[in-house]
Chains A and B, each alone.
Chain A
């Protein structure tokens, strides 16, 4: 009898062992599959980036010559011409947007980190800031259209810069707030101990130590708005002329790429690629330089989305 139970027990144990081995093997196989899946995902994601870079460089280089950068776009269907007004327009609109957006964003950030504390109002501002970051840029364009274009009566540089600054402000203020928060309190306390008024401490001590981080945020947002197309359609309209005044339409690189790519002529498409190469260089140089600088200085650049 006892022998029999022993046998049974041994048999049972062997079964359990076998099941465990089988389970472990199954787990290992699943583990392999997941690992392969993860690596495949990485490869899948890198393919488009390489393809985009290769195509843009390959097709864009063909368009590059002196005339291309300085000349005006030629009549539709004609070869030749350039993207001079687009480059100029992008610089003007983005510059103006930065002049409007950066100070407001930085001041909001300083207010949120130094003066506001944790009440319902500042928390509300923070929350809406975050939500604003995620709103579609085309909506900002509509706002620019309604508030500025309809009021002033024409498509204008002002409207474009206003729309772009709406995109910029939440990004800048968030980065500013986060960088200033990292500044150790002892620095502020040292200022207080010397009897310096708070606004002076904030401006000349806290903000000064945080300036490289703040600049990072500004440059990041410039890279972002330089590539925006949708809000420009309904604000600066786009023209083939050079800049004539702040109250009239101008051209911009993304807009020009869009217009060129929708023309059925090969010369126009080559120019679109050329303009794309110029734009991508502008944006990538800005963000790569920033990241390298950040790595060397040892502060973190958060992906701002």
Chain B
């Protein structure tokens, strides 16, 4: 089935790669006008990577905190409903995150975070643009909200697999809870947590509709983000935006080519993540379930 997927996408993307060659990946133009067609995917690759990086920078520490709270701190009475709620968050369709972000969250971000940053720190080039609310920064934050349930529920499973004897040994040496985590639990769970984060990253990179709604949808060289508050575009969101309006076969093929890049990117991430998680789970027989 995977071969089928790869074959179909590869076949569809062939014309654009033969038309643009390597330029397709490094170019910045995006022009669909007949006769002057020129397609380059670089701005969207950057947009994808940047928004996902923001999402990871915010999402991973918070998910780790939640997982620690649920497995190591909270009594059973609190942790069960809490993990229930977090998993519900995972069940909410991304279109609803998008709707909420577009009509509600965007204004919180703009007024509470972006505007103060702009007013006080605009000498830092990152923040030097009048914030509008529909930009890479917002997209990154909403993506982080979306991947938190995923990362934290897998991290929770991983922390549970760490044998209790590890913890008891550390506690018996007089370590505090943090000491135990740092010296006995994390070294054990490191690769698993890394894998969980990569799974979250794969999700963030491929997320389409949510990003389409809030990233600002810039096109061409303008989509290369110069500040955090610039309008951007990701691979997936450009596909969603233009797929039904594709003017020519070449335009269509260019969009499918974006899909091929996306497929490759997420496949590499996913395979890496799965290998890491499965190594962790196999290496530790008999954890606490």
CB distance from B103 to the nearest CB of A (A): 7
CB distance A166 to B259 under 8 Å? no
A-side contacts of B172, CB under 8 Å: none
CB within 8 A of B92: which of A35, A52, A142? A52
Q: How far is the CA of A98 from the CA of B80 in the complex (A)?
A: 31
Q: Does A51 sit within 8 A of B, measured CB to CB? A: yes
Q: Does A21 sit within 8 A of B, measured CB to CB? A: no
CB distance A42 to B176 under 8 Å? no
Q: How far is the CA of A237 from the CA of B246 in the complex (A)?
A: 13
CB distance A229 to B262 under 8 Å? no
User: Which residue in chain B gives the minimum CB-CB distance to A227?
Assistant: B93
CB within 8 A of A139: which of B9, B86, B102? B9
Within 8 A of A (CB), among B73-131: 73, 82, 84-100, 102-105
CB distance A131 to B66 under 8 Å? no
Q: Does B236 sit within 8 A of A, measured CB to CB? A: yes
Q: Does A75 sit within 8 A of B, measured CB to CB? A: no
Q: Does B145 sit within 8 A of A, measured CB to CB? A: yes
Q: Does A299 sit within 8 A of B, measured CB to CB? A: no
CB distance from A41 to the nearest CB of B (A): 3
CB distance B99 to A272 under 8 Å? yes
With A142-B12, A233-B244, A287-B88 as given contacts, are A136 and B262 in contact (CB-CB < 8 Å)? yes
Q: Does A79 sit within 8 A of B, measured CB to CB? A: no
Within 8 A of B (CB), among A204-245: 223-224, 226-230, 233-234, 237
CB distance A279 to B93 under 8 Å? yes
CB distance A229 to B87 under 8 Å? no
CB distance from A38 to the nearest CB of B (A): 4
B-side contacts of A169, CB under 8 Å: 1
CB distance A303 to B87 under 8 Å? yes
B-side contacts of A234, CB under 8 Å: 239, 243-244
Segment at the interface with A among B16-24, B25-33, B35-43, B265-273? B265-273
Q: Does B153 sit within 8 A of A, measured CB to CB? A: yes
Q: Does A121 sit within 8 A of B, measured CB to CB? A: no
Q: Does A92 sit within 8 A of B, measured CB to CB? A: no
Q: Does B280 sit within 8 A of A, measured CB to CB? A: no
CB distance A146 to B12 under 8 Å? yes
User: Which residue in chain A gives the minimum CB-CB distance to B243?
Assistant: A234
Q: How far is the CA of A218 from the CA of B5 in the complex (A)?
A: 22
CB distance A305 to B243 under 8 Å? no
Would you call the interface of chain B mostly helix, strand, loop, or mixed?
helix
CB distance B239 to A31 under 8 Å? no
B-side contacts of A179, CB under 8 Å: none
With A46-B85, A143-B5, A233-B244 as given contacts, are A131 and B270 in contact (CB-CB < 8 Å)? yes
CB distance from A276 to the nearest CB of B (A): 5
Q: Does B65 sit within 8 A of A, measured CB to CB? A: yes
CB within 8 A of A280: which of B4, B87, B92, B271? B92
B-side contacts of A130, CB under 8 Å: 270, 274
Would you call the interface of chain A mostly helix, strand, loop, or mixed?
helix
A45, A228, A269: residue with the most chain B Cβ atoms closer than 10 Å: A45
Q: Does A140 sit within 8 A of B, measured CB to CB? A: yes
Q: How far is the CA of A40 from the CA of B239 in the complex (A)?
A: 37
CB distance A41 to B96 under 8 Å? no
CB distance from B73 to the nearest CB of A (A): 6
Q: How far is the CA of A228 from the CA of B62 in the complex (A)?
A: 26
CB within 8 A of A303: which of B153, B240, B259, B270? B153
CB distance from B140 to the nearest CB of A (A): 14
Q: How far is the CA of A164 from the CA of B87 in the complex (A)?
A: 22
Q: Does B152 sit within 8 A of A, measured CB to CB? A: yes
CB distance A279 to B270 under 8 Å? no
With A34-B177, A135-B270 as given contacts, are A146 and B8 in contact (CB-CB < 8 Å)? yes
Q: How far is the CA of A129 from the CA of B138 in the complex (A)?
A: 33
Q: Does A1 sit within 8 A of B, measured CB to CB? A: no
CB distance from A17 to the nearest CB of B (A): 14
CB distance from A76 to the nearest CB of B (A): 16
CB distance from A21 to the nearest CB of B (A): 12
- Give me 6 A-to-B residue pairs in the complex whose CB atoms sit less than 8 angstroms apart, sorted by A's number: A38-B65, A49-B88, A131-B274, A143-B8, A258-B209, A284-B88
Chain A contacts to B: CB under 8 angstroms: 24, 27-28, 30-31, 34-35, 37-42, 44-46, 48-49, 51-52, 55-56, 59, 127-128, 130-132, 134-140, 142-143, 145-147, 166, 169, 223-224, 226-230, 233-234, 237, 254, 257-258, 261-262, 269, 272-273, 276, 279-280, 283-284, 287-288, 291, 303, 305
4 pairs of A and B residues whose beta carbons are closest in the complex: A227-B93, A136-B206, A41-B65, A230-B208
